Amino acid sequence: MVIASQEQFNDFAQGLREPGWFLDHRKAALARMLAAQIPDFRQGLLSGISFPEKFELSDITPENGRHDSTVAIEYDKSSGVSIFSSSEVSQAMPAESAALFKAFLTEDWMHDADALAWHQQAFANDALFIRIPKDCAVSKPILITYSCGAKPLLASIFVLAEKGSSAKLIMIKKSAVQKVKKSGEGGRKINEGDDHNYSGNQSYVSEDLRVFAVGDNEIEVTAVQALDDSSVIVQRRTSWQGKQAAVKWDDVCIGGAFCRSEVISILAEKGSSTKSVSSFIVGERKRFMLSNSALHKSQFTVSSLLTRGALAQESKVFSKGLIRIDPEASGSEGFQKQDALLLGKGAEAAAMPNLEIMNDDVKCGHGVSISDIDDGRMAYLMSRGLDERAAAQLIVEGFLLPAIELITDISLRSLLFSAVRAAVARTGRG
């Protein structure tokens, strides 16, 4: 089985008005996609994780290059940051920016790419190009909100952080039905789609975010995925980091029937570092696959990866971590930790924290813990007057604190807290 055919691509490409070099990139990606295997998501585990039963892979290919999602962007225009939308990226981009943009299209970004990752490259139907100029410190976060419709959305976001720049990016993905509730938001709208009542059919959302931190940067990315419970989500974030560039990832997954979220930090030059926190709260029969990788390619690079979350009901989460230290990367340090709280009787957590170390002058470690809420802690809190549900809620919130404290936005925090409440309520406590 293949995800999409050459014919589908021909139809798709007809409606595009893009420069030739970008179409060439799509064609090359299509060829790779056709040759690649469909991931089976089993990862050698006893009980694999699969795409939702009724979801057809053939449904993930957009027609005519269009989607019905809304993208809202808020940022301080006086900060020097420039943002180009899909149409601008393809048509009106200055030659200089186009040259920079091409740097995002090499295969260096495609670590461990499978058919879905190549599919995103070939069929992307929404793109944003964010340029943070040299030595620019952006104080107000750049906020991007996707209100996703029923049609497949394959969004690419390219962030170019020039030397010495720093910025914070917040990205929220939610379903259009939630957008109706929160209408009236300001901001610049691109690709205005039809507002519609969400049909409840499973929709496909794919996202590819690339951060090119040229050097001496401090970039923070907070991404919250709170889509409708029937959505199928495939997201992939990659950073390529130059000398002394620091990138912080804060990835929160709450929604979707199936969600695959990958974070890959390529520590390409001396002294670059990454801190990546992936957190999740999951219930019902949802399936999450989270992966967190740090590829140390140069000396004195540092990575710290944490995946942490709570599972209610019959949800399943597979989390994979990789720290790879190349022979050239002496003096590097890499740590990873994967923790899961099993709240549901039928929940399943699987972890695979891999290390591949090819240099001896390193410090590396990893840890995994999987358990239920500790009875002793529950007893303590209840002896202080909390009821069972409040006590469980407090423990889960405490468990997720590393993720929660990274989120400064109040509305995002409250989203996370309500997800915790829902997860605890589903366990039948209290």
Partner 1 sequence: MRAQYDRKNKENLSFQLPEGLSEEIVREISKQKKEPGWMLAKRLEGLKIFLQKPLPSWGPSLSRLDLSRIRYYLRPDASKNATRWEDVPQDIKNTFERLGIPEAERKSLAGVGAQYESEIVYHNLKKEWEEQGVIFLDCDEGLKKFPEMFRRYFMTSCVPAALHKFSALHAAVWSGGTFIYIPKGVKLTTPLQAYFRMNAMRGGQFEHTLIIIDEGAEAQYIEGCSAPRYDESALHAGCVEIHVLKNARMRYSSIENWSKNTYNLNTKRAIAHEGAIMEWVNGNMGSAVTMLYPATVLAGDNSSTSFLGIAFAGKSQNQDTGSKVIHIGKNTSSVIRSKSISKEGGITSYRGLLSIRKGALNAKASVSCDALMGDARSVSNTYPSIDVVERSASVAHEASVGKISEEQVCYLRSRGLDEKAAAQMIVSGFIEPIVKELPLEYAVELNRLISLEMEGSIG
Contact pick of 46, 194, 197, 410 for partner 1 (by CB under 8 A): 46
Contact pick of 219, 350, 395, 419 for partner 1 (by CB under 8 A): 350
Q: How far is the CB of 37 from partner 1 (least distance, A)?
A: 12
Q: Of the listed pieces 189-197, 262-270, 340-348, 378-386, which binds partner 1 according to CB under 8 A? A: 340-348
Contact pick of 267, 342, 396, 423 for partner 1 (by CB under 8 A): 342
- What is each CA distance from 359 to 108, 243, 300, in whole angstroms? 22, 20, 12
Amino acid at 196: H
Separation between Cα atoms, residue 309 and residue 307, nearest integer Å: 7
The residues near 136 (Cβ < 8 Å, ≥ 6 apart) are: 79, 80, 81, 162, 164, 165, 166, 167
Contact pick of 29, 122, 205, 349 for partner 1 (by CB under 8 A): 349
Q: Of the listed pieces 16-24, 167-175, 202-210, 344-352, which binds partner 1 according to CB under 8 A? A: 344-352
Q: What DSSP designation does 39 have?
A: P
Contact pick of 45, 180, 379, 401 for partner 1 (by CB under 8 A): 45
Q: Of the listed pieces 26-34, 37-45, 122-130, 210-218, which binds partner 1 according to CB under 8 A? A: 37-45
Site for partner 1 in 312-331 (CB under 8 A): 327, 330
CA 227 to chain centre: 13
Whose Cβ is closer to partner 1: residue 271's or residue 344's? 344
Answer whether 303's CB lies under 8 Å from 239's CB: no
Element (H, E) at 189: strand 188-190
**Closest CA relative to residue 227, chosen from 148, 157, 287, 281:** 148
Is residue 214 within the footprint of partner 1 (CB under 8 A)? Answer: no
Separation between Cα atoms, residue 206 and residue 121, nearest integer Å: 10
Q: How far is the CB of 338 from partner 1 (least distance, A)?
A: 8
Whose Cβ is closer to partner 1: residue 215's or residue 321's? 321
Separation between Cα atoms, residue 258 and residue 229, nearest integer Å: 9
Q: Angle at which helices 20-35 and 6-14 pack, to 10 degrees? A: 160
Q: Of the listed pieces 62-70, 121-129, 186-194, 346-354, which binds partner 1 according to CB under 8 A? A: 346-354
Separation between Cα atoms, residue 283 and residue 152, nearest integer Å: 24
Contact pick of 300, 359, 382, 389 for partner 1 (by CB under 8 A): 359
Separation between Cα atoms, residue 300 and residue 313, nearest integer Å: 43
The site that binds partner 1 (CB under 8 A) totals a number of residues, namely: 39
Q: How far is the CB of 44 from partner 1 (least distance, A)?
A: 6
Whose Cβ is closer to partner 1: residue 342's or residue 404's? 342
Contact pick of 13, 368, 386, 390 for partner 1 (by CB under 8 A): 368
Separation between Cα atoms, residue 187 and residue 85, nearest integer Å: 14
Q: How far is the CB of 368 from partner 1 (least distance, A)?
A: 4
Site for partner 1 in 58-77 (CB under 8 A): none
Contact pick of 58, 371, 408, 418 for partner 1 (by CB under 8 A): 371
Amino acid at 280: F
CA angle (153, 154, 156) in 5-degree steps: 135
* First vs last C-alpha separation in the chain: 47
Whose Cβ is closer to partner 1: residue 369's or residue 414's? 369
Separation between Cα atoms, residue 212 and residue 130, nearest integer Å: 10
Contact pick of 5, 6, 10, 47 for partner 1 (by CB under 8 A): 47
Is residue 370 within the footprint of partner 1 (CB under 8 A)? Answer: yes
Is residue 361 within the footprint of partner 1 (CB under 8 A)? Answer: yes
Is residue 192 within the footprint of partner 1 (CB under 8 A)? Answer: no
Answer whether 225's CB lies under 8 Å from 148's CB: no
Separation between Cα atoms, residue 162 and residue 66, nearest integer Å: 31
Is residue 364 within the footprint of partner 1 (CB under 8 A)? Answer: yes
Separation between Cα atoms, residue 248 and residue 218, nearest integer Å: 8
Is residue 366 within the footprint of partner 1 (CB under 8 A)? Answer: yes
Contact pick of 117, 167, 268, 340 for partner 1 (by CB under 8 A): 340
Q: How far is the CB of 317 from partner 1 (least distance, A)?
A: 10
Q: How far is the CB of 388 from partner 1 (least distance, A)?
A: 16
Whose Cβ is closer to partner 1: residue 187's or residue 430's? 430
Contact pick of 35, 92, 99, 358 for partner 1 (by CB under 8 A): 358
The pair phi, psi for residue 147, each rounded to 5°, is -105, 105
Q: How far is the CB of 273 from partner 1 (least distance, A)?
A: 19
The pair phi, psi for residue 357, each rounded to 5°, is -115, 120
- Integer-rounded Cα Rg, in Å, for the chain is 21
User: Which stretches of the chain bind partner 1, using CB under 8 A?
Assistant: 43-47, 327, 330, 340, 342-372
